[in-house]
Amino acid sequence: MKRFEQTWRWYGPNDPVSLQDIRQAGATGVVTALHQIPHGEVWPVSAILERKEIIEAAGLTWSVVESVPVHEAIKTRRSDATNYVDNYKKTLENLASCGVYVITYNFMPVLDWTRTELGLELPNGAKALYFNWTDLAVFDIYILNRKGAVDDYSQEVVTEAKIRFEKYSEAELEDLTRVILMGIPSEKDISIADLKDSLKVYQEIGLEGLLSNLLWFLGEIKDVCESNGIQMALHPDDPPYPILGLPRIAGNKEDYLKIINGVDRPFNGICFCSGSLGAGVDNDVVEIAAAVKHRVHFAHFRNVKKDRMGNFFEADHLDGDVNMPAVLRIFIEENQKRIKPIPFRPDHGHQMLDDLNKVTNPGYSAIGRLRGLAELRGLELGLITLM
């Protein structure tokens, strides 16, 4: 039976995890992006080829772009949005001309991801990324001072947030702010005032407006994608529910079906992230996989553990609330229908062993992902043996 393509995210030449490390881990494909190019600018062919040559010289393949950022002007459909769409289309053409066809992106307003702690210590001493509603409420109500924020949380969370805010030191509050603001993709430092301005814009756009803007964007790039063989893979919202009053449009099965059917063409697909979707208290990740499998162009496999309030940490890949064997079985069956195998990567990983003493990108240390890739590879092979 056909196996998945095993890939690994790499942040480029400055990533502390090297291409040699990736090859030793057993991955054959690299997932990367030209992070040095400001959002909204065209990726030149020369820069794409330079990155591709570095990857291929290491004996690997550039399999997926993650990500070509969608400029805020497009998400908000600002008056100058068409200029940024034209740049996006040119970037897609340039990538295709260099033989790179799978493009991951997201349409999350302002924040690409949100956590409240980057190093939750687990019982075995490893560290994981963590999201806690009470800490988010501390930031939202007392640091951001967002109008009406208190109404977006349960009374239990509001009460605990007040206690926690009064207990936290200035340094702890500053660290919480730093961690949350890390989720804003920007070439410059973002202030609380900047965040407040962005929130106001999206309050006016709302949920339906943001969905409409996404479908407009997909309609604008459709011809370029189809004529160049580009597959667009939309990453789910992370976490998959509204935060800080921001609308979220890609957090569950119904959301994804609206998007798929809204521009019902094969190029319009999904980056299936089992961890992001698994953080949703009401999400059945196996059910979502079965419903959208035909449009999955790329997959992130990771796991989470949630408590009764919806707080979650990123668990071992095979030891969380997501039924990973059932998810993989669905995609193994789907993979047999594909001309090219579905690429996946172990998403995030615990900071553990020697990596505890290293500075790495949050969630992207080497050893935790190495363990995740090994576990997923073994699970896939075991399931195939039984099928």
Residues marked as catalytic: 235, 273, 300, 347-348, 364
* Rounded alpha-carbon distances, angstroms, from residue 39 to 18, 91, 197: 25, 11, 19
Q: Are strands 29-32 and 5-9 parallel, antiparallel or unpaired?
A: parallel
The token pair at 218 is 């997909």
Examine residue 247 and say whether the peptide bond preceding it is cis (omega within 30 degrees of 0). Answer: no
Residue 50: name the closest of 38, 66, 32 by CA. Answer: 32
Query: Which position has the token pair 């479908």?
Result: 215
DSSP single-letter state for residue 138:
I
Q: What are phi and psi of 299, to 5 degrees?
A: -135, 140
Residue 268: name the closest of 296, 291, 287, 240 by CA. Answer: 296
By the 8 A CB rule, do 300 and 275 touch? yes
CA distance 168 to 117: 14
